[in-house]
């Protein structure tokens, strides 16, 4: 699977989000209703009120999920284009300046979708001394100018990507620098497949009634809305 195809899996991750949230919301709603009935039967009125409130919040959040569906369809189309743009990095210095700008814009989107714990793997990739040499790069903003050597404070591959992005540098194709930058892009692309598998497994567990609500999974790229937070975290406080 080439780099573009691996980035395209982020599109599939995003497309599955609504179904995942709906399954999780209904799973938690059914659990809250069951707990409510048990609390009433045992005359635990404080618990019953809490479970009733959770159920109402989840019902409201689930009703409003359809508002996200239109935006999701649009985002899925954009991610398909961004996957192609991000994969331009394979061409190294052969990328035109206009495509480089599209590439970095796509990189920024995908980078933000990756959970920080998984992004840290790219921060543990030490730089080879050869990848620090300015001769391994070209300045796309001013091709006639020499590139500076990478400064000492840039000590890992993730920082290298941020540095050359700000400088408008691109690594020469096939160099050590190019290989370092490719590792970062590949790491970000590869997270998508694991995220997709995580969500698919969670949905299967919910349908089999074995999903552990007290140990929520970390899902990349979920919209930062109150309804999403209610579905993900509701029912957690009392555990």
| Secondary structure letter of residue 128 according to DSSP | P
Q: Which single residue is written with the structure tokens 């070209």?
A: 138
Q: How confident is the model at residue 221 (pLDDT cuts 50, 70, 90)?
A: low
Task: Give yes or no for a contact between 146 and 60, defined as CB atoms under 8 angstroms apart.
Answer: no
Element holding 137 (H helix, E strand): strand 137-139
Which tens digit of pLDDT belongs to each residue from 69-121? 777 778 888 999 999 999 999 999 999 999 999 999 999 999 998 988 889 99
Which tens digit of pLDDT belongs to each residue from 222-235? 677 788 877 877 75
Instruction: Find the distance separating the first CA and the last CA of the chain, reported in whole Å.
Output: 42
pLDDT at site 126: 94
Q: In Å, how far are 109, 222, 228 from 116, measured between CA atoms? A: 14, 14, 19
| Secondary structure letter of residue 156 according to DSSP | B
Q: Quick one: tokens of 236?
A: 């957690």
pLDDT at site 152: 94
Q: In Å, how far are 28, 88, 213, 229, 233 from 239, measured between CA atoms? A: 13, 47, 9, 17, 11
**How many whole angstroms separate alpha carbon 126 and alpha carbon 124?**
6
Which tens digit of pLDDT belongs to each residue from 50-70? 888 888 888 888 888 877 777
Task: Give yes or no for a contact between 13 and 80, defined as CB atoms under 8 angstroms apart.
Answer: no
Q: Is the pLDDT of residue 239 over 80?
A: no
**How many whole angstroms separate alpha carbon 131 and alpha carbon 128?**
5
CB half-sphere exposure, 156, CA atoms < 13 A: 10
Domains of the chain: which residue ranges? 3-233
Q: Nearest Cα to 218, choosing from 184, 238, 191, 237?
A: 191
pLDDT at site 139: 97
pLDDT at site 64: 85
Q: Is the pLDDT of residue 165 over 70?
A: yes
Q: Which single residue is written with the structure tokens 């209703």?
A: 33
pTM given for the model: 0.81
Residue 208 burial (10 A CB sphere; 0-12, 13-18, 19+): exposed
Which tens digit of pLDDT belongs to each residue from 169-191? 999 999 999 999 999 999 999 99
Task: Give yes or no for a contact between 112 and 224, defined as CB atoms under 8 angstroms apart.
Answer: no
Q: How confident is the model at residue 237 (pLDDT cuts 50, 70, 90)?
A: very low
**How many whole angstroms separate alpha carbon 82 and alpha carbon 67?**
24
């Amino acid at each position: 699977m080439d780099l573009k195809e691996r980035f395209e899996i982020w599109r599939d991750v995003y497309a599955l989000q609504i179904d995942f949230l709906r399954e999780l919301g209904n799973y938690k709603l059914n659990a809250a209703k069951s707990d409510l009935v048990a609390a009433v039967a045992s005359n635990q009125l404080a618990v019953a009120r809490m479970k009733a409130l959770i159920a109402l919040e989840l019902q409201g959040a689930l009703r409003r999920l359809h508002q996200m569906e239109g935006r999701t369809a649009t985002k899925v189309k954009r991610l398909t284009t961004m996957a192609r743009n991000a994969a331009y990095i394979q061409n190294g210095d052969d990328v035109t300046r206009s495509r480089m700008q599209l590439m970095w814009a796509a990189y920024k989107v995908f980078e933000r979708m990756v959970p920080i714990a998984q992004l840290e793997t790219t921060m543990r990739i030490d730089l080879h001394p050869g990848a620090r040499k300015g001769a391994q790069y070209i300045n796309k903003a001013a091709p006639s100018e020499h590139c500076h050597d990478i400064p000492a404070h840039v000590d890992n591959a993730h920082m290298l990507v941020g540095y050359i992005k700000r400088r408008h540098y691109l690594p020469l194709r096939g160099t050590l620098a190019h290989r370092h930058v490719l590792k970062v892009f590949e790491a970000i692309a590869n997270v998508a497949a694991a995220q997709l598998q995580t969500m698919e497994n969670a949905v299967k567990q919910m349908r089999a009634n074995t999903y552990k609500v007290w140990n929520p999974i970390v899902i990349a790229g979920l919209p930062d809305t109150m309804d999403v937070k209610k579905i993900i975290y509701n029912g957690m406080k009392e555990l």
